[in-house]
Amino acid sequence: MPEEPALKVKRLQDMKISRKRVILRVDFNVPLSSDGGVRDNSRIRESLPTIKLLLKEQARVVILSHLGRPKGKSDPRLTLKPVAEELSRLLGHPVSFSEETVGSRAEKAAKALKPGEVLLMENLRFNPGEEEDSASFAGALSKLGDVFIQDAFGALHRAHASTDALPRRMPSAVGLLVQKEIEFLDRALGNPQRPFLAIIGGAKVSGKLGVLKRLVERVDSLLIGGGMAYTFLHAQGVSVGRSLVEKEMLDEAKSIIEKAFARQITCLLPADHAAVKELRPDSPVELTHGMAIPPDMIGVDIGPGTVDIFADQIKKSKTIFWNGPLGVFEMEPFAKGSLAVASAVAKQGEKAGVVTIAGGGDTLALVAKAGVAESFSHLSTGGGASLEFVEGKILPGLKALTGS
């Protein structure tokens, strides 16, 4: 959707990587279980095609990733060691682990790699230089390899040392995952089959204002759910009880609805809700009989009437882009609406000529929970990155690969 979405960047396939030390930036920011293991390995699996291609070329692979928000300090709860073990299991290939990211021991481990060997470095964000986009930290990272491959689509919207300063210092290219993401999003959303429907959910309008403004200029219909819907409803004078409302976003929400009306696109808000008095999974759920929510209640999910209305719109669409859950789906009793919409999108996506795209960590978790992931045309691994791409922004991590 940007005017120059992919810029002019080299691809991994265009690089001479045989037997070279390749620094591979991936997005292994995966959820960990209470026992320290990997709870969901989806992001690791997405990186496998690039790693396997590098191994086929007998490259010596040095992998970089962040995990969580350790704020520039070492945190044993956010070590990448269990990720190394999971990667080794998925690859069916040994993966070494370095407890340091930079420095003499890290460099020694990287230089000791033989062709076809893999080394995962410790969490980039244990060093404050990563999020500061530090030139000195990038310089230290560059000593780990000969060429740089960017395959962390989910990190491309961050100007950090490993995504911005590092690729500017050495021969660089994009890996297979980034290629797939950019090409698919650009082809499907830049020139969509119509009718084009966007489903936008999640908690806050403020986090998705840019993409909402962009989409309302391009889609044929827009469905809004999740916590942000209560701000939109409040902006229309509808009582939403004790539900989340961003008062500073009321004018923006009203403006988006007015723009949709002016463009004669269908813009739908929840027509009924599941509501509770306290935000706890054991709270009794009441269904409202209309848009309004009683003064003492909190909206936690779209109601069955809204599911039917949304499903009706989904059935008419040829391209569907979905980002953000439509309720507090993490709590089982409040997931019904989101799961029903996931099933409706999946069913529509099985029809010939229909393109369905889901993006963002929560949305992917929801689609997986619904058991319909395989029915989607594309699952975008980068939440913020895919939103900024759709919004029309040039992602810093891509710009860095051009040297501009």
The catalytic residue positions are 43, 204, 361, 384
φ, ψ at 28 (rounded to 5°): -100, 35
* Residue at 79: amino acid letter: T
Q: Which residues contact 117 (CB under 8 A, 6 or more apart)?
A: 60, 61, 94, 96
φ, ψ at 355 (rounded to 5°): -110, 125
Comparing CA positions, the residue from 322, 103, 313, 107 lying closest to residue 202 is 322
Where does residue 72 fall: left (phi above 0), alpha (psi -120 to 50 degrees), or beta otherwise?
left
Q: Which residues contact 186 (CB under 8 A, 6 or more apart)?
A: 1, 2, 5, 6
φ, ψ at 320 (rounded to 5°): -130, 125
- Longest alpha-carbon distance in the chain: 67
CA distances from 37 to 40, 56, 78, 323, 327 (A): 9, 28, 11, 27, 28
